[in-house]
Amino acid sequence: MTQTAAAPPAIELVGIDKSFGQVHANRDINLAVAAGSIHGIIGENGAGKSTLMSILYGFYQADRGDILIGGQKTVIRDSAAAIAAGIGMVHQHFMLVENFTVLENVMLGAEGGATLARGTAAAREELKRIEREYGLDVDPDAVIEELPVGRQQRVEILKALFRGAEILILDEPTGVLTPAEADHLFRILKVLKEQGKTVILITHKLREIMAITDTVSVMRRGELVATRRTAETTVEELAELMVGRRVLLRVDKGPAAPREVRLGVENLTVRDGRGVTMVDDVSFAVRAGEIVGIAGVAGNGQSELLEAIAGIRRPASGTITLGGKSVGGLDPAALRRRGLAHVPEDRHHMGLVLPFEENENAILGYHGAPEYCRGPFLSLDAMRRDAKAKIEKYDIRPPNCRLRTANFSGGNQQKIVLAREIERDPDVLIIGQPTRGVDIGAIEFIHRRIVEMRDAGKAILLVSVELDEIRALADRILVMFAGRVVGEERPDCGEQTLGMMMAGVSGGQGASA
């Protein structure tokens, strides 16, 4: 796996340096990745991982430093140049045309000729060959928006391979995947490696690093602080290198003391835009002082359930109560006033208005609250003061409340949403994927805040595709499958049991209240 001396490294970065105004995102980075290996990059939110990869892919130009591809110094001005140099990238947020087919997406930008017909036939053949070779398994004629995320991601990989990528960069590819989908992705990456391709993988999940990479680099505050052979390091060492202190990889919490019911859901049925039943006659209750987790493979109705409770989606039937009073038909603003806070699963789509300044996003949904307003005017002073306090408390980096939210790293954006919702001190908190894209140091902090909320007597409903996270935080676990709650388990039940229930094999104590 390590081609020393003989072959030049697939990629060599020499003294790469990049600043955005005050933020020094990459400092004098030196890195060599051997051809035919899988190299992991880890680091805290805002450490500069995505920036470094963006430089490699031609999105940004480094202020200083050189890029060597296969030993050749290469100037990468834009993504076209990166593709020409054999570099492909799978973005954290896919860049596919939603209503095009797989084949059309793959061909986009490589249509080859004025009429599509000839190019299409050739492309279809090539696509089939690549799919066979790497076990990618996607239907060329499927329309993107109808594919689950895992497959959409494979289309991104296909696209890169179709363009002749020898080096594949994946930026947090598993953030949106179910465990099964992630396994499939890793199988694909292994095949790629066997075929001699080089893979760079950015992730926050140390387990994945240990499972699949050959070498791993750690970034901290813009610097590359260490590179290790994966076989010679441990999760604990990596965690410490990342954060600069020992990290508790486990949640510390006492037993729950549940009290009265705060959030009640009875016989709730929710249909999507096409009339398909996504949530099917679901009933449960969340009490003050407990965390109820909803486990399940993504796409089994959890998202729709959250949206219905948050007032974003109108249920087809059933009742939702807050503090014993029915709140059916209330809009999200009215629900917030009644003490419901909602951390949405998808921060880009819902939780944030990306071009807004950080302090503007820090009040989204609460922008009508009296403390942020003076009559019809916004009180910029109050907004900024408040944003600064949250930035400090949640260690959001860079600590600049006037920065456009789009310019924060993914994990820091998530912290902006969490700070906004948690600091309102709501009675009921519903959270979707709280730590998606968040680094382990911050996960520790977020988990602690959620447990503190519980201990302060709040009712918390948590949806996560991370089974570990649910098991660590929840006091009770409901398992959803095909829109129904198929069982309830205690967090100390075996992973096997939960896995079976999530796959639709009934178990546990049956559907429960």
Partner 1 sequence: MSRPFGQLPGWADYVLMPVLNLGVAFGISALVVLFIGESPWEALTTMLDGALGRGEGIGYTLFYATNFIFTGLAVSVAFHCGLFNIGGEGQAYIGGLGAALVALAFDQVLPWWLTAPIAILAAASFGAAWALIPAWLQATRGSHIVITTIMFNFIAAALMVYLLVNVLKVPGAMAPETRTFAAGGQLPKLGWLLELFGLKIGAAPFNVSFLIALVAAFGVWVLIWRTRFGYEIRATGISPSAAIYAGIPYVRLVVVTMLISGGLAGMMALNPVMGDAQRLQVEFVGGAGFVGIAVALMGRSHPLGIVFAAILFGVLYQGGAELAFWIPTISRDMIIVIQGLVILFAGALEHMFRPALVALFARAIPARAG
DSSP string, 137-201: ---TTSBGGGS-HHHHHHHHHHHHHHTT-SEEEEESTTTT--HHHHHHHHHHHHHHHHTT-EEEE
Pick the closer one to partner 1 by CB: 61 or 234. 61
173 near ligand ATP, judged by CB under 6 A? no
Phi, psi of 304 (to 5 degrees): -65, -35
Phi, psi of 90 (to 5 degrees): -110, 115
The residues that bridge with 217 in the sheet, in sequence order, are 41, 227
- Of 211, 218, 214, the closest CA to residue 229 belongs to 214
- The mark string for 365-404 relative to ligand ATP (x by CB under 6 A, - otherwise) is --------------------------------xx------
Minimum CB separation of residue 408 from Mg ion in Å reads 10
Interface contacts to partner 1, rule CB under 8 A? 17, 19-22, 50-51, 53-54, 59-64, 77-78, 91-93, 171, 310-312, 331-336, 342, 344, 348-356, 360, 364-365, 367-368, 373, 376-378, 380, 406-410, 413
Could you give the CA distance from residue 267 to residue 17 in angstroms, rounded to a whole number? 57
Number of H helices, E strands in the chain: 16, 22
271 near ligand ATP, judged by CB under 6 A? no
Q: Which does 43 bind (CB under 5 to 8 A by kind): ligand ATP, partner 1, Mg ion, none?
A: ligand ATP
Minimum CB separation of residue 23 from ligand ATP in Å reads 5
CA 99 vs CA 54, 102, 103, 146: distances in Å: 27, 9, 12, 9
Pick the closer one to ligand ATP by CB: 313 or 397. 397
Could you give the CA distance from residue 437 to residue 412 in angstroms, rounded to a whole number? 9
277 near ligand ATP, judged by CB under 6 A? no
Q: Which does 398 bind (CB under 5 to 8 A by kind): Mg ion, partner 1, ligand ATP, none?
A: ligand ATP
Q: Is 85 exposed, middle or buried (0-12, 13-18, 19+ CB in 10 A)?
A: buried
Among 9, 33, 40, 50, binds ligand ATP (CB under 6 A): 50
- The mark string for 409-448 relative to ligand ATP (x by CB under 6 A, - otherwise) is xxxx--------------------------x---------
Q: Are 128 and 140 in contact (CB under 8 A)?
A: yes
Q: Which does 198 bind (CB under 5 to 8 A by kind): Mg ion, partner 1, ligand ATP, none?
A: none
Strands 484-489 and 11-20: unpaired
Among 408, 470, 476, 486, binds ligand ATP (CB under 6 A): 408
5-44: contacts with ligand ATP (CB under 6 A): 20, 23, 25, 43
Q: Which does 311 bind (CB under 5 to 8 A by kind): ligand ATP, Mg ion, partner 1, none?
A: partner 1
